[in-house]
């Protein structure tokens, strides 16, 4: 059994390459069938805002990429409920439907459960 | 810079034979790219190329092998969404070769 | 599985420490390196929070020395060999990059 890996993504999609790098690790891990999880924390929850539009910025659309996660076999998707609430995001309108909203103690338990953690 | 002659046009390719400008893609370009790989595109090939283009449309990225298989199975059923069928059509490297013929960027997660 | 949380950014004007304290577990520990050592500046909000949380807190000795910071009795100053030992002692290391 390969070691499980949790990626914690905590930067906005527009603040440099961090959010994309976190997603690339997850997609690569998923393509290789690793037990991999993805948690959106702090500004990372902004990646999940609905109806983002990157066309005028001429950047690739990260939210479209996020929709590919289930295709890559990544189904362990989590979001910090407090981070979303603090940033005015309704957990019911996030762009990933199959995401679990976690409270702080549940996040502690989540991190505990994985063999390795990478925070970006 | 590599290029591919399609009719009177020279289409720019990168060093691995992928389109530099994704908007250069057309049915003729796909056939010419396939011919350069010694592949004669059958309806079964076209079906996968179209599927890849819709994958890219939806997710803005080129799939690695496993997601390609999963997506194909989802859209065309398991008798086509399996590695045997896709490997047979695309010389054993479906993610890379089919993306090339479909005019998609090289799959980045295809390590 | 226990986690050693590794912070290296200043807690002032950055929310890594706040966020880390939100999710850190009772069996976990916190290691401050680089500018994260500024959390030990007495009388500040990060200092007060850390002092009352009862967490295991480590700090790199050279970083507190360079920054003229005290090491309070609830924190332990360590050198690099001890850092290595800690990262082996805990099941995993979570670097807040």
In the prediction, which pLDDT does A59 show? 77
Best C23, C29, C55, C92 member to test A by mutation, with max A CBs in 10 Å, is C23
**Minimal-distance CA residue of chain B relative to A74:** B67
Is the pLDDT assigned to residue A60 strictly greater than 80? no
3-state secondary structure of A76: strand
Per the document, the length of chain A is 120
Copy the structure tokens of residue C49.
Answer: 């929070």
Q: How many domains does chain C have?
A: 1
Spell out the domains of chain B, with CATH numbers in brackets.
2-37 (no CATH), 43-102 (1.10.10)
Residues A77-98, mean pLDDT to the nearest whole number: 93
For C12-62, the pLDDT digits (tens) are 988 999 999 999 999 999 999 999 999 999 999 999 999 999 999 999 999
Residues A39-62, mean pLDDT to the nearest whole number: 87
> Active-site residue B61, yes or no?
no
Is the pLDDT assigned to residue B54 strictly greater than 80? yes
Contact B66, A70 (CB under 8 A): no
Supply the CATH number for residue C79's domain: 3.40.1260.10
Q: How close is the nearest chain A Cα to the Cα of C9, in Å?
A: 13
Of C2, C22, C92, the CB nearest to A115: C92
Percent of chain B at pLDDT > 70 equals 96
Triad A56, A58, A60: Cα angle to 5°: 120
**Predicted confidence band of residue A51 (pLDDT cuts 50, 70, 90):** confident
Average pLDDT, chain A: 92
Instruction: Look at A68 and B63 and tell me if their CB atoms are within 8 Å.
Output: yes
Which numeric CATH code is attached to A5-51+62-85+96-119?
A: 3.40.1260.10
Instruction: Give Cβ neighbours of residue C89 (< 8 Å, ≥ 6 apart).
Output: C4
User: B77, B98, B110, B111: which one is catalytic?
Assistant: B110
Q: How close is the nearest chain C Cα to the Cα of A74, in Å?
A: 21
Residue C40 is part of which domain span? 3-95
What is the Cα–Cα distance from A96 to C68, expressed in whole angstroms?
47
In the prediction, which pLDDT does A61 show? 79
What is the Cα–Cα distance from B31 to C37, expressed in whole angstroms?
62
Query: Which residue ranges make up each domain of chain A?
Result: 5-51+62-85+96-119
What is the Cα–Cα distance from C25 to A91, expressed in whole angstroms?
25
Instruction: Look at A42 and C96 and tell me if their CB atoms are within 8 Å.
Output: no
Task: Pick A52 or C7 by higher pLDDT.
Answer: C7
3+ Cβ–Cβ pairs closer than 8 Å linking B and A: yes
Half-sphere exposure of A72 (CA within 13 A, CB side): 32
In the prediction, which pLDDT does B109 show? 57
């Amino acid at each position: 059994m390969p070691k499980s890996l949790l990626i914690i993504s905590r930067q906005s999609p527009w603040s440099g390459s961090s959010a994309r790098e976190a997603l690339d690790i997850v997609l690569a891990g998923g393509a290789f069938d690793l037990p991999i999880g993805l948690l959106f924390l702090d500004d990372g929850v902004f990646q999940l805002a609905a109806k983002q539009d990157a066309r005028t910025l001429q950047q690739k659309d990260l939210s479209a990429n996020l929709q590919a996660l289930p295709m890559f076999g990544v189904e362990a998707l989590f979001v910090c409920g407090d981070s979303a609430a603090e940033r005015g995001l309704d957990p019911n309108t996030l762009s990933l439907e199959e995401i679990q909203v976690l409270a702080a103690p549940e996040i502690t338990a989540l991190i505990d459960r994985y063999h390795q953690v990478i925070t970006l | 810079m590599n290029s591919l002659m399609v009719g009177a046009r020279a289409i720019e390719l990168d060093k691995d034979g992928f389109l530099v400008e994704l908007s250069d893609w057309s049915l003729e370009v796909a056939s010419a790219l396939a011919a350069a790989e010694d592949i004669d595109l059958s309806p079964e090939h076209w079906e996968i190329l179209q599927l890849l283009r819709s994958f890219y449309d939806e997710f803005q990225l080129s799939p690695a092998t496993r997601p390609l298989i999963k997506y194909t199975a989802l859209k065309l059923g398991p008798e086509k969404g399996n590695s045997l069928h896709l490997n047979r059509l695309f010389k054993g490297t479906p993610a890379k070769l089919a993306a090339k013929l479909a005019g998609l960027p090289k799959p980045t997660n295809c390590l | 599985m226990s986690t050693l949380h590794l912070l290296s950014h200043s807690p002032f004007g950055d929310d890594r420490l706040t966020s880390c304290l939100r999710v850190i577990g009772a069996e976990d520990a916190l290691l401050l390196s680089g500018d994260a050592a500024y959390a030990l500046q007495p009388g500040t909000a990060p200092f007060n929070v850390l002092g009352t949380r009862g967490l295991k807190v480590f700090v790199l000795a050279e970083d507190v020395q360079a920054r003229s910071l005290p090491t309070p009795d609830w924190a332990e100053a360590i050198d690099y060999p001890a850092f290595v030992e800690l990262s082996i002692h805990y099941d995993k290391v979570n670097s807040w990059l």
